[in-house]
Chains A and B, each alone.
Chain A
Amino acid sequence: MSAGPPEAPADGAVRWAAQPYRVQKAGNAPEEMEDACYPSRAASGATDSAAGARFAVADGATEASFSGLWASTLVRLHGRVGLAAETLLEGLPRWGRYWRRRVGGRALPWYAEEKLRSGAFAAFAGLRLCGAPAGAAGGSEGGLRWEAVAAGDSCLFQVRDDALVVAFPLDSAAAFGSRPALISTEPAANAGLAAHVRRADGGCRAGDTFYLMTDALAAWFLGAVERGERPWQVLERATQSAFGAWVDAARRERHLRNDDVVLLRVVLR
């Protein structure tokens, strides 16, 4: 799949094609991956479909247990109902209870009970494409918009004409050093979350590519941009196996922190 030249879909809407990539931490088994994305498999569609076009990545915190389930709950919710800042905050108590039902209800050893008590945590970034383009081929921005919501250090980047036009919610590699705000399954832990939920929007058009990614890859991406490189060129044509080999090498050379990596590439055509 490539960004390729913009082409006009028959119905006049912009078409999108989403390709997920995932590589678990070196030393972990694939089923131990705690990052998630929506869609979880390659998918394509048009921006004027009834469901709209929604994409998300989430990064389950390693320190907690069942964080992978919480991350996948959040991205699937975004896919199903579309999480905006308000709906995210309103819905959290209910979704936290859903998570608890999924993981509870059976006898657990003392440490698992204790661990569950503190809940699960995840960073999240969601993207929605909405509206139809005013023009057809040629990619006038017209009415085609994107909206994004994020909490924590999962990121979204918009690339157009071989240049980075949007970095959200973090825009420098140095910003990854501190402890990110995370979405918890526990209402008490979400008390200060509203201040950390970020939103953004803008225009988009055929030919644009969005990259959604979890923190380790995002930190590398922004670091490369700061060095004047074009990191999207590594990502724009990768196959899963080539991406896996690239991640392995980047970790060995210490360009990339050893952490779960999820990348979702969304190409508009």
Chain B
Amino acid sequence: MAYSAEISRTNPSCFLFLIDQSGSMQDPAPPAMGADAPAAGTRAKAQSVADAVNRLLQNLVIKCAKSEGVRDYYQVGVIGYGAGVGPALGGPLAGRDLVPISEIADSPARVEERTRKVEDGAGGLVDQTVKLPIWFDPVANGGTPMCQAMRQAETLLGGWVQEHNLSFPPIVINITDGESTDGDPTEIAERIKALRTSDGACLLFTLHISSQSAAPVQFPAAEATLPDQYARLLFGLSSELPDFMLSFARDEGFAAAPGARGFVFNSDMVTVIRFLDIGTRPSNLR
């Protein structure tokens, strides 16, 4: 059965984020996207995306953290595309493409602190200081060379699947505002989705943050509900959710129909985080 390989230190899996850093990403996120932010509606899309990616990396590290340290269940890469195309992690990991999760854990660019309220177990709330590691800062500059980014992904993952033939296949998450400026990425996306390990084909998911204030769409099974050609094109690139992820999505309260794709349009940050969590939740972590 596909997508059932155990994710282990011997057979790790791989997440690759493709992040749109084009100039249009400095436009405000649509109100829904920034709904939980202090300045809803005025926050740049690039900042919302950076927050989501940092939060996701933090969650992945914590998932892999055990008593003795961080277990290398994953390799993670972040490719930015805008004025340039290439690895986009900052700090000590600058210039690295696929990085074991233990190195991600130990090498954030910086660690910020925030205070949050937590339940004290006796009906009250107490302040708790939490650390927020930052690996990735917002950038918004230049065009949207999505084809070039996808070609880099194809090269990286082509090598990876050969070296990890028994592993759970790589998951690529493309986060963009949708308007590729270097051509139609469909053909390259199809080649990425044709890369495979013995456990199944690479999965390509899309988080589309439009500048339109259109209604959010999550895990659609057909393109009819999508508002524009860019959303329909990105829907077309996105993989269907494997069965276990379909179950996760439903468990999380999404009305994901059979054939639902890993595609989210204009959703609020809470949904974005949940989408990323569903898209990166291990089915079978060892």
A residues with a Cβ closer than 8 A to B are 25, 27-28, 32, 62-63, 65-66, 68-69, 93, 103, 109-115, 117, 186-188, 191, 258
Shortest distance from the beta carbon of B167 to any chain A beta carbon, whole Å: 13
Of B9, B111, B119, B133, the contact of A27 (CB 8 Å cutoff): B9
In the bound complex, CA of A102 to CA of B285 (Å):
26
Of B6, B63, B131, B286, the contact of A113 (CB 8 Å cutoff): B131
When C-beta atoms are compared, the residue in chain B nearest to A108 turns out to be B65
Please judge, given known A-B contacts A65-B65, A110-B133, A111-B62, whether A25 and B119 are in contact too, CB under 8 Å.
Answer: no
Shortest distance from the beta carbon of B76 to any chain A beta carbon, whole Å: 14
B225 on the A face (CB < 8 A): no
Count residues of B near A (Cβ-Cβ below 8 Å). Answer: 27
A62→B285 contact, CB < 8 A: yes
Interface residues of B in 199-239 (CB under 8 A from A): none
B156 on the A face (CB < 8 A): no
Contacts of A109 in B (CB 8 A): 105-106
In the bound complex, CA of A187 to CA of B8 (Å):
32
Of A65, A110, A114, A187, the contact of B66 (CB 8 Å cutoff): A65
12 A-B contacts (beta carbon < 8 Å): A27-B10, A27-B286, A66-B67, A69-B67, A93-B121, A109-B105, A110-B111, A111-B70, A114-B58, A187-B121, A187-B122, A258-B6
Contacts of B106 in A (CB 8 A): 109
| Contact code string B33-68 (vs A, CB < 8 Å = 1, else 0) | 000000000000000000000000010011101111
Interface residues of B in 1-54 (CB under 8 A from A): 6, 8-10
When C-beta atoms are compared, the residue in chain B nearest to A28 turns out to be B286
Contacts of B111 in A (CB 8 A): 110
When C-beta atoms are compared, the residue in chain B nearest to A115 turns out to be B65
Of B6, B10, B119, the contact of A188 (CB 8 Å cutoff): B119
A186→B121 contact, CB < 8 A: yes
B286→A110 contact, CB < 8 A: no
Shortest distance from the beta carbon of B251 to any chain A beta carbon, whole Å: 10
Contacts of A114 in B (CB 8 A): 58, 62, 65, 130-131
B286→A258 contact, CB < 8 A: yes
Contacts of A65 in B (CB 8 A): 65-67
When C-beta atoms are compared, the residue in chain A nearest to B8 turns out to be A27
In the bound complex, CA of A66 to CA of B66 (Å):
7
When C-beta atoms are compared, the residue in chain A nearest to B108 turns out to be A110
Other than the known A65-B66, A113-B131, A114-B62, what 20 A-B pairs have Cβ atoms closer than 8 Å?
A: A28-B286, A32-B68, A62-B285, A66-B67, A68-B67, A93-B121, A109-B106, A110-B111, A111-B61, A114-B58, A114-B131, A117-B128, A117-B130, A186-B121, A187-B122, A188-B120, A188-B121, A191-B121, A258-B6, A258-B286
Contacts of B108 in A (CB 8 A): 110
When C-beta atoms are compared, the residue in chain A nearest to B133 turns out to be A110
In the bound complex, CA of A137 to CA of B65 (Å):
53
Shortest distance from the beta carbon of B149 to any chain A beta carbon, whole Å: 29
A111→B105 contact, CB < 8 A: yes
In the bound complex, CA of A83 to CA of B26 (Å):
59
Contacts of A68 in B (CB 8 A): 67
Contacts of A113 in B (CB 8 A): 131
Shortest distance from the beta carbon of A26 to any chain B beta carbon, whole Å: 8
In the bound complex, CA of A69 to CA of B286 (Å):
18
Shortest distance from the beta carbon of B16 to any chain A beta carbon, whole Å: 21
A115→B62 contact, CB < 8 A: yes
Shortest distance from the beta carbon of A40 to any chain B beta carbon, whole Å: 18
Shortest distance from the beta carbon of A191 to any chain B beta carbon, whole Å: 8
Shortest distance from the beta carbon of B127 to any chain A beta carbon, whole Å: 13
State the 8 A-B residue pairs at the shortest beta-carbon distance, nearest first. A187-B121, A188-B121, A110-B131, A111-B65, A115-B65, A188-B119, A27-B8, A111-B61
Contacts of A63 in B (CB 8 A): 63
In the bound complex, CA of A6 to CA of B181 (Å):
83
When C-beta atoms are compared, the residue in chain A nearest to B105 turns out to be A111
Shortest distance from the beta carbon of A97 to any chain B beta carbon, whole Å: 11
Contacts of A28 in B (CB 8 A): 286
In the bound complex, CA of A32 to CA of B133 (Å):
27
Contacts of B68 in A (CB 8 A): 32
Of A112, A186, A188, A191, the contact of B65 (CB 8 Å cutoff): A112
When C-beta atoms are compared, the residue in chain B nearest to A29 turns out to be B68
Q: Which of B8, B67, B70, B119 has the most CB of A within 10 A?
A: B67
